Amino acid sequence: MNISRGCDTVGRKILYFILTVALCIFVSGCGSGKETLNDGAAAGDEDTEARTGKSDIVITDEQETDVMTEQPVVVAEVSNYSVMKFAGASRELFLEEDISALIKQAKAGQIKETPADTEASIEAAETEDIKEELTGEENTGEEETEETEGVEHNEAVEEETTGETVTADTPQPATGGGRVVCIDAGHQIKQNSEKEPIGPGASETKIKVSSGTSGTTTGVPEYQLTLAVALKLQSVLESRGYKVIMCRSSHDVNISNAERASIANNAGAGAFIRIHADGAASASASGASTLAPSGSNPYCASIASSSQSLANSVINAYCAKTGMRNRGVQITYSMTGLNWSQVPVTIIEMGFMTNPGDDQTMQTESFQQAAAEGMADGIDAFFGQ
């Protein structure tokens, strides 16, 4: 009986020992398996970090991934955020009822924002339909990209052509470049019949200034027409970057022709434009012309060549702009306002006020603006030679 009881005790101890050893082996095996699993996950994290530079974001297309690594995979983008799932998770994660929650997580920062440098290279693993389903918007990104690329392309072409980028706000270089132009609106409201020499040291004299002619059809006096065009020319030239000196800006003045030349000389003008209108005994005479000193002029031969060049440029541009008949350049030595000039000078006769057609045409606002622009074009051409 005692022997039997002792055997039972020994048997139980052996059984306990065996069970204990088995349990230890089992526990040891589970720990090892867990360590292996953790090692696998760590290896997966290192692989993720190596490919993206960040351990918490993976930027890849949808692909097969080892379930044990549980590496996140981009499925789609929501408002510039990457919505991810794990390869071991069920695709039912993206059923419609979960989408709103994912979007909220993305916007709340619980799902990391895709880095800008990698975002451009990402294609959603799902189709464009999934993108539309996730965002609730149609895919307009391609159109916006094309518009952006178009702007960048235009800027690139502009840089290649001009060597610099030019925006809507960049000021363009003015043609005038600060050059000085003196404008003399011919005549004045009251004639000054006193005499002055026609040139430096000349014995010949002429009246200082007349009131000019008048339109035989319109009745408009010449001094009024010339100032109207002169003021428009001033505006055009200043808009092109010229510095403009006006001999007169009103009708009630008393400035002789020699004094008007002195104004241009003292200003150091690069061009002196004297605006007039013609008159003749015959009503059939029509068209425009310019006057310049001759090379043999005893008073201003030194500026004859440059003045003739100015006269030629102005009459050609003026007639091209206004459609007036071009009567060319006339060479003279008897004009006081030319002879006293020390800077390039020309008189432009815009048309005949004694011709009904010319007279009426020159009184229109559109013609006067065209006349001013044509003269300015001629001045541009003169300085551009």
Name, in order, each residue with C-beta under 8 angstroms of 232's C-beta and a sequence gap of 6 or more.
368, 369, 371, 372
- Looking at the structure, tell me whether residues 156 and 259 fall in a common domain: no
pLDDT in tens, 356-369: 999 999 999 999 99
- Looking at the structure, tell me whether residues 121 and 211 fall in a common domain: no
Q: Is the dihedral of CA 146, 147, 153, 154 positive or negative?
A: positive
pLDDT at 107 over 80: no
Bigger pLDDT: 203 or 15?
203
| Radius of gyration of the CA atoms of the chain, in A | 47
Amino acid code (one letter) for 184:
D
- Looking at the structure, tell me whether residues 130 and 223 fall in a common domain: no
- Looking at the structure, tell me whether residues 156 and 231 fall in a common domain: no
Residue 27, in any domain of the structure: no
- Write phi, then psi, for 32 (nearest 5 degrees): -65, -40
CATH number of the CATH domain containing 371: 3.40.630.40
pTM: 0.57
pLDDT given for residue 221 in this prediction: 98
- Please give the residue range of the domain that contains residue 317: 180-383
Q: How many angstroms separate the CA atoms of 382 and 311, rounded?
A: 9
Structure confidence at residue 18 as a pLDDT band (50, 70, 90): confident
pLDDT in tens, 208-255: 999 999 999 999 999 999 999 999 999 999 999 999 999 999 999 999
- Looking at the structure, tell me whether residues 318 and 201 fall in a common domain: yes
Bigger pLDDT: 270 or 12?
270
pLDDT given for residue 162 in this prediction: 37
Lowest mean pLDDT among 75-79, 211-215, 332-336: 75-79
- Looking at the structure, tell me whether residues 267 and 298 fall in a common domain: yes
Domain count, the chain: 2
- Looking at the structure, tell me whether residues 187 and 143 fall in a common domain: no
pLDDT given for residue 122 in this prediction: 36
Q: How many angstroms separate the CA atoms of 82 and 62, rounded?
A: 12
- Looking at the structure, tell me whether residues 370 and 265 fall in a common domain: yes
Bigger pLDDT: 91 or 193?
193
Structure confidence at residue 9 as a pLDDT band (50, 70, 90): low
pLDDT at 106 over 90: no
- Looking at the structure, tell me whether residues 198 and 277 fall in a common domain: yes
